[in-house]
Amino acid sequence: MRPKNSAAWYVSVHRLHAGLLSCALLCGSASVNAAILFSDKADNHTSLQNALSKGAWAYAEGEVAISTNYARPGSKQSYQLAYRYNEAQSFLAIRLPQGKKRIFVRWWEVRERSGDFPGALDYDWSAEKTIRIRSATIGSTGIDYCLGWEAAGSQRGTSGTDGPGQMVLFGNSTASNGTDLLRVTPGIQRGQWNMYEVEVNLGTQGQSNGAVRIWVNDKLLGERTNLNLLPRTNANIEEIWIGGWYSGLSPNPSPARRYVDDIVVSDSKIGGTVSNDKTPMPPTEVTVQ
């Protein structure tokens, strides 16, 4: 109830707002200038078509569906991405019309495990792009920075094993820094949800002031700074693909299916609570390259 004295009411509200802001800053749960650019959960929709019609996603490619095979605690379903052959693509696309030089992408993901439901397969997920952070068009002037899995041995790991090797963040176009920028080894297991977050800061065209970072379950696994991520063009981040390609060899066995949910894009660190005690925590060591 508002106090009868309007001045007292103003002071009371002002103190409340100041207290909430101080708590948010001290707890690391908010930033004064933070902006959520995108947020979506599979539970918000009855089908992929429903999600697209609501404008949650700009578009989708390949075999994408909403599935009840896996759901995070407190949820009923997740987005399923399926790959059946070499160079198959399946992804959900986020569009950033204004374009950004720096973004953070956070999502939850689980890899299919044989026995979790009828027809579940322990496929080998090496040589698979997990997300792509890119301009709307590529060609000779567009950027495309991908996070993907590398086989533990050669081109392909061993079907059915946990941990395919390293996650690699790399440039995938002539206008991107066409090298492997950062490698981390999360050591995750099948059938368990893990929270991933990636930061890409493009910096300034032609200058080595860009940066990339990777977190798993809100633990910083690796970072690299002083990068020239715009060597040829002053491009912006305009699209984010949750999913991508299965490249190199066909999945074995097929189809390869993985599941994602609770996707957030922001201009500052997102993080979150890792509440599933069955989720394996990654090593605490930070890799700096």
CA of 265: how far to CAs of 39, 88, 179, 206, in Å?
6, 25, 25, 26
Domain identity same for 6 and 93: no
CB atoms near residue 259 (< 10 Å): 23
Cα(288)–Cα(60) distance, integer angstroms? 34
pLDDT number for residue 152: 58
Domain identity same for 101 and 25: no
CA of 195: how far to CAs of 12, 218, 247, in Å?
39, 7, 23
Residues in the chain: 289
Q: Check if the beta carbon of residue 192 is closer than 8 Å to that of residue 279.
A: yes
Q: Check if the beta carbon of residue 222 is closer than 8 Å to that of residue 196.
A: no
pLDDT number for residue 95: 97
Domain extent, residue 21, equals 1-30
Domain identity same for 137 and 19: no
Domain identity same for 12 and 145: no
Domain identity same for 212 and 237: yes
Cα(237)–Cα(216) distance, integer angstroms? 22
CB atoms near residue 245 (< 10 Å): 22
Domain identity same for 25 and 158: no
One-character DSSP codes across 160-204:
T-S--S-EEEEE-STTS--SEEEEE-----TTS-EEEEEEEE--S
Strand partners, 169: 147, 182
Cα(166)–Cα(16) distance, integer angstroms? 47
Domain identity same for 9 and 96: no
pLDDT number for residue 163: 52
Domain identity same for 76 and 163: yes
How many domains are there within the chain? 2
Domain identity same for 100 and 15: no
Cα(271)–Cα(284) distance, integer angstroms? 16
CA of 127: how far to CAs of 166, 205, 248, in Å?
10, 30, 6
CB atoms near residue 172 (< 10 Å): 18
Cα(277)–Cα(289) distance, integer angstroms? 31
Domain identity same for 129 and 4: no
pLDDT number for residue 18: 39
pLDDT number for residue 34: 66
pLDDT number for residue 275: 57
Domain identity same for 97 and 5: no
Domain identity same for 158 and 41: yes
One-character DSSP codes across 123-145:
----SEEEEEEE-S--TTT--EE
| Predicted TM-score (pTM) above 0.85 | no
Q: What does the pLDDT profile of the chain (289 residues) look like in tens digits?
A: 333 343 343 333 333 333 433 333 333 333 435 699 999 999 999 999 999 999 999 999 999 999 999 999 999 999 999 999 988 999 999 999 999 999 999 999 999 999 999 999 988 777 788 999 999 999 889 999 999 887 655 444 444 444 557 889 999 988 998 889 999 988 888 899 999 999 999 999 999 999 999 999 999 999 999 999 999 999 999 999 999 888 877 788 889 999 999 999 999 999 987 754 343 333 333 444 4
Task: Assign residue 81 the CATH number of its domain.
Answer: 2.60.120.200
Contacts 24+ apart (CB under 8 A), 166-171: 167/130, 167/214, 169/145, 169/198, 169/212, 169/214, 170/145, 170/146, 171/143, 171/144, 171/145, 171/229
